[in-house]
Amino acid sequence: MAKKNISAADNKKIENLAPDTIDSSGEFMTTDQGLKINDDNNSLKSGERGATLLEDFILREKITHFDHERIPERIVHARGSAAHGYFQVYESMAKYTKAGFLQDPSIKTPVFTRFSTVAGFRGSTDLARDVRGFAVKFYTEEGNYDLVGNNMPIFFIQDAIKFPDLVHAVKPEPHNEIPQAGSAHDTFWDFISLTPESMHMIMWAMSDRAIPRSLRMMEGFGIHTFRFINAEGKSCFVKFHWKPLLGMHSVAWDEAQKISGKNSDFHRQDLYEAIDSGAFPEWEFGVQIVAEEDEHKFPFDLLDPTKLIPEELVPVIKIGKMTLNRNPDNFFAETEQVAFHPGHLVPGIDFTNDPLLQGRLFSYTDTQLSRLGSPNFHEIPINRSINTVHNNQRDGHMRQQINVGKSSYHPNSTGGGSPMQAKVAEGGFSSYEERIDARKVRARSKSFMDFFSQATLFYNSQSEPEQNHMRDALRFELGKLQTPVIRERMVGLLTKVSSKLAAEVAEGLGMAVPEPKEPLNHSYGADANPADYQDKPQKQNIDKSPALSMSNTSKDTIKTRQIAILATDGVDGHSLSTVKAELEAEGAQTKIIAPHGGAIKNTKGIAVKVDMSFLTAASVLFDAVYIPAGAKGLLHNADAIHFINEAYRHCKAIAADGDGLDLLNETYVGSKLKKGKGPATTGVITGNGSIAKEFIHAIAQHRFWEREKNDKVPA
């Protein structure tokens, strides 16, 4: 056959099929098959508020590619910690749902709960400013149920088709893979500044919720609106909550950064050691119930994952409790291989048309296929259902179940018709029969378009210290940016949340507040008219929600709190042992910190075991500091003085007994004490004996943020 001559133009086409680099400047967006995309912002739905359609090949291609980008760690939520435990319902929820595990208070349903950061890799720090994953696998008699949520009740985006873009933006920048586990860089804030629907979540992410003191001291949320369905087929909407019995507590941002250097496994170790010591973490399970007929009575859309239902409008009903009481035996086999999926349901719980949830229902199975390498990931022990699995799915990589018999199809007669379909009355799952009658569209409901009202509600609901922390967080994050126009866009968006906040952030950045303008709104396709979507903020039913502020959390216990006791040779044995015993009687854990390891001797020459030296300890790893009498040997110890100053800077309780006050007087704290009592010394307890009770009360308050009004402590 004669060789065909190839023209110069054809040669160029062939060369372009496999270019070394691709510059997309000025080019139209396409699918992986080269098809030009008209709308990259909305999945295909049956009506603006309808279910996402399986035929949306653009959504499936985009998310499939995203799910398979990295092997083998999770693309998001890679760094996790987990524990086994159980859940018990308080009383039957039959009025609302037929879910079996929510009926009998005498039944303990096994659970496996995984906590995680979102953005960082497996080796990143626990104390990054980030959302925390909060995923619970219930091993129920009706099958596994996964409640896959976060420690924040909302999310950055409204439609799952934008999830790859969000994560690409927040991950380390692709040209240099910097920064690790941090959002303080150009690509993240560029995306946010062009995506105003994210502003509510940004308020949460810049708040103290993003730097929790412990995984045991944070809330959990299902994020989406789900459905409960009872035995009569009646449906209601439901939001899921986890409320920690230890209360919600955070660390200071300066403290978080230092903990990352001192102990990047701080949260992981805290959870493991608490369970190992018998101090089992507990959360109450709560629900917000909304009747079907009340779906549209709120000034926001229940299907919008960037919105929450204020607890003052719909109270959280606490219906049960989860206790984590056993650490994993093998981190990889359990924590790393556990596979969660919001589509793992039981009868009595079902989905809504939340477009973020709808996309997750496809994504989670797909990403497990990539990570765990087989459709048989459900056979890994940590993922197995406690009731035996029976179906006609066969073979595949790493198959473990050995199926007997000759039939592997349905219907069949060779196997006697087994396995059989179950009627609803026999526990068979049936989806809620929601009426759908709509056009196929790529669009978003106008009811989703209020981007700022709840962001303002959240900010206004915070205490003054919490608002100050949000201001400083935004100054830190935006101050790291290299592109001035991104900062300008962000401060412009902040003016629509709070003019006060925008002005304070701008001042810290050394810039003027931009003139307010309508935000760029990505939430429509290339052919849509932006004017159709620029709805004004909706007036909320309430101006403030106390439930949104961590300052209103429970402050009545010091269980599992870590207390540093600073001591050296010559310590007063009675002063040390008495307060130590009273702290531990209240559930706190104490560590004696000294200039060296091994042991020190008290005034009677009796050896006292040292837990840590100043070289291995740091104030940021503790919740409070106690200085017993007989601390004269530390008067000129720079490490001890720094330890106290730093604890004071981070607003922690400090107590000194007897001549322990002499050591305090050598610190910055002493200069405040000499000027008299007041806000600057709130939480600093001194006296001669009998100070334990007051000290315990102070520790229970967690922090004394009012100290931050004063000048910064040199520590």
3-class secondary structure per residue, 43-86: CEEECCCCCECCCCHHHHHHHHHHHCCCCCCCCCCCCEEEEEEE
Which residues have CB under 8 Å from 451's CB, separation 6+?
Answer: 196, 197, 199, 200, 306, 496, 519, 537
Residue 596 contacts by C-beta under 8 Å, 6 or more apart in sequence? Answer: 610, 613
Beta strands in 616-662 (DSSP E): 624-627, 653-657
The dihedral of CA 439, 443, 444, 447: what is its sign?
A: negative
Cα separation, 460 vs 453, whole angstroms: 11
Interacting residues of 548 by C-beta distance below 8 A, sequence separation 6+: 310, 457, 458, 461, 462
Identify whether the C-beta of residue 145 lies closer than 8 Å to the C-beta of residue 99.
yes
Instruction: Give dist(CA 383, CA 70) in Å, integer.
Output: 22
CB 228 within 8 A of CB 289: yes
Question: Exposed, middle or buried: residue 64 (CB in 10 Å: 0-12, 13-18, 19+)?
Answer: middle
CA dihedral 450, 453, 458, 461 (to 10 degrees): -160
Active site residue 175: no
Catalytic: which of 41, 77, 151, 200? 77
For 409, other C-beta atoms within 10 Å of its C-beta total 9
Longest CA span, the chain: 105
**DSSP 8-state secondary structure symbol assigned to residue 189:** H
Active site residue 168: no
Catalytic pick among 41, 42, 144, 150: 150
Residue numbers annotated as active site: 77, 150
